[in-house]
Amino acid sequence: MKILVTGGAGFIGSHVCDILLEQNHQITVVDNLSHGHKNLLNPAVNFIQADLLDQSKIEDTLHGHDAVIHMASFIEVGESVKKAVEFSENNIVGTVKLLEAMRKAAVKKIIFSSSACVYGRPKKLPITEEDILGEQENPYGLTKVSMEQFCILYNKLYNFDVSILRYFNPYGPNELHTPETHAIPNFIKAVLEKKSIPLYWKGNQIRDFIYIDDLAFAHTLPLSQSGLHIYNVGTQTGTEVIDVVKKIFEIVGYEVPIEDKGERKGDVPSLVASSEKIKQQFGWQAKVDLDEGLRKTIEFFKSLKS
């Protein structure tokens, strides 16, 4: 298939592109490089630097493609609170313009990169796809809900084939966000630099950490599907954040101080996925456990220093 990947020069997108190439798909990446890194891309990828808000350029690029994997969005939760307008324009308006460009270019298959944040503060665990979407506590979460709803609307109005993947907590090599707001890369970088680790809630939050290769592979599964589908993508295992810190200490062989940052508004105590639906339909399940994933991630960040 000929597949266009938005945000393909980012952390998750670059891994998705590698797997798609291994499966012999033809890949076009559209990325404005505001957060992406072109050097993460395999040279076999056709790269176009463009913004989703430039609808006419996206439409021209889309002609001849069979599907879109949509991963381009602003993701920093804290920044979204400060920049609600920018997040809404980039994430929501950018998605609507992409969908309109797809409609005009007659490309009617989209796999959308969503987030577990759409569930808000869950009333039960593990979270299933049938659980209601919760009240949002930050603009980022609200943009993801809106982006999902527009994809679903285009399924209803124009018979788009839509698959929505709700991630939990991905980690792994190539995570180079600026600023970096995700826990694991921040922990690893602090430990390697022998600086203190900033820790909220004393690390008692429970999260479902999924290694990037497992998550990236899940994006390829719905390419053969038609209709509307929603999947959680997680390990189905909850881990306390403090236990992740301890595992990192164990792997590197030393400890650094922990800086108690207190509480943080917008955090939920626990997020753990039920991924039974994607397992039943595709046989997918996470293969890389936390110990192996952390070792690979630590090696990546070590390699940046050499």
pLDDT digits 0-9 by tens, 96-115: 999 999 999 999 999 999 99
Give the C-alpha separation, 253 to 267, whole Å.
30
Structure confidence at residue 245 (pLDDT): 97
Using 50, 70 and 90 to split pLDDT, how confident is the model at 89? very high
- The whole-number pLDDT of residue 134 equals 85
Q: Which domains does the chain have, with CATH numbers?
A: 2-171+211-234 (3.40.50.720)
- Distances from the Cα of 100 to the Cα of 32, 61, 158, angstroms: 19, 13, 10
**Active-site option among 119, 140, 154, 171:** 140
Query: Would you state the pLDDT for residue 46?
Result: 98
CB 269 within 8 A of CB 235: no
pLDDT band, very low/low/confident/very high, at 173 (cuts 50, 70, 90): very high
CB 162, CB 112: distance < 8 Å? yes
Lowest mean pLDDT among 49-63, 83-97, 153-167, 263-277: 263-277
Span of 8-17, 216-225, 269-278 with lowest mean pLDDT: 269-278
How far, in Å, are 23, 112, 117, 303 from residue 38 at the CA level?
A: 21, 21, 28, 18
Cα separation values, 264 from 15, 118, 145, 201, 260, Å? 31, 18, 22, 7, 11
In percent, how much of the chain has pLDDT > 90? 81
| Owner of token pair 């390990």 | 235
Look up the pTM and report it. 0.94
Flag the least confident range among 25-34, 142-151, 153-162, 196-205. Answer: 196-205
* Per-residue model confidence (pLDDT) at position 118: 93
Look at residue 19 in the predicted model and tell me its pLDDT: 97
- The whole-chain average pLDDT of the chain stands at 94
Q: Give the pLDDT score at 266.
A: 66
What's the pLDDT at 151?
98
User: Residue 179 — pLDDT band, cuts 50, 70, 90?
Assistant: low
With a cut of 80, say whether residue 306 has pLDDT above it. Answer: no
Choice among 54-68, 148-162, 177-191 with the minimum mean pLDDT: 177-191
Q: Residue 122, preceding bond cis, omega within 30 degrees?
A: no
254 among known catalytic residues = no
